[in-house]
Amino acid sequence: MQIDALKTLVIEALEDVKANDITMLDVSRLTSVTDWMVVASGTSSRHISALANSVITAAKENGVPPLGVEGENGADWVLVDLGDLVVHLMLPQTRELYDLERLWADLPTDSTDVGAGECAEDGAEEVGEEVKA
């Protein structure tokens, strides 16, 4: 699956389960581990689990089985590794504590509102640049 299609798939899977504050980061020039990170918030551990399940199910249905999933049961942070794209799902207080957006965005950032289907093409081509969904 092409990365643009995978980004759209993940955004739609998160929006379907009402994820909050979806942010997409292009980290391709900052790490060799992945090219994109998606960070989103859930309202409770149960909501985070539902978000993770939505992403995992959508990915599997489209031929992209996760390489790994960390922190699934009752966690305040779940990571879904889809290879070129890693999804971080957190409670708001955990997200604030670890502040991954600041950690990975060591260059100036611009935030752009993004809905499903509007990923990098609409403003996130620079390293460390954020796209808000």
So what's the pLDDT on residue 120? 41
Contact between 110 and 129 (Cβ < 8 Å): yes
Kindly list the domain boundaries of the chain, sorted by start residue: 3-132
Full-model pTM: 0.79
Rounded mean pLDDT of the chain?
A: 83
Q: What does the pLDDT read at residue 28?
A: 87
Q: Checking DSSP bridges between strand 36-41 and strand 20-26, what pairing results, if any?
A: antiparallel
Name the band, by pLDDT with cuts 50, 70 and 90, for residue 118: very low
CB 14 within 8 A of CB 56: no
User: What is the phi/psi pair of residue 60, to 5°?
Assistant: -60, -40
φ and ψ at residue 92, rounded to 5 degrees: -55, -40
Domain at 3-132, CATH from 3.30.460.10, 3.40.190.10, 2.40.128.50, 3.40.50.620: 3.30.460.10
Model pLDDT for residues 50-109, shown as the tens digit of each residue: 999 999 999 999 999 999 999 987 789 999 999 999 999 999 999 999 888 887 766 434
pLDDT given at position 126: 42
77-81, strands of its sheet edge to edge: 68-70, 77-81, 85-90, 36-41, 20-26, 130-132
Between the alpha carbon of residue 29 and those of residues 33, 36, 61, 68, 86, the distances in Å are 10, 10, 30, 22, 15
Which secondary structure element, helix H or strand E, spans residue 5, and what is its range? Answer: helix 3-16
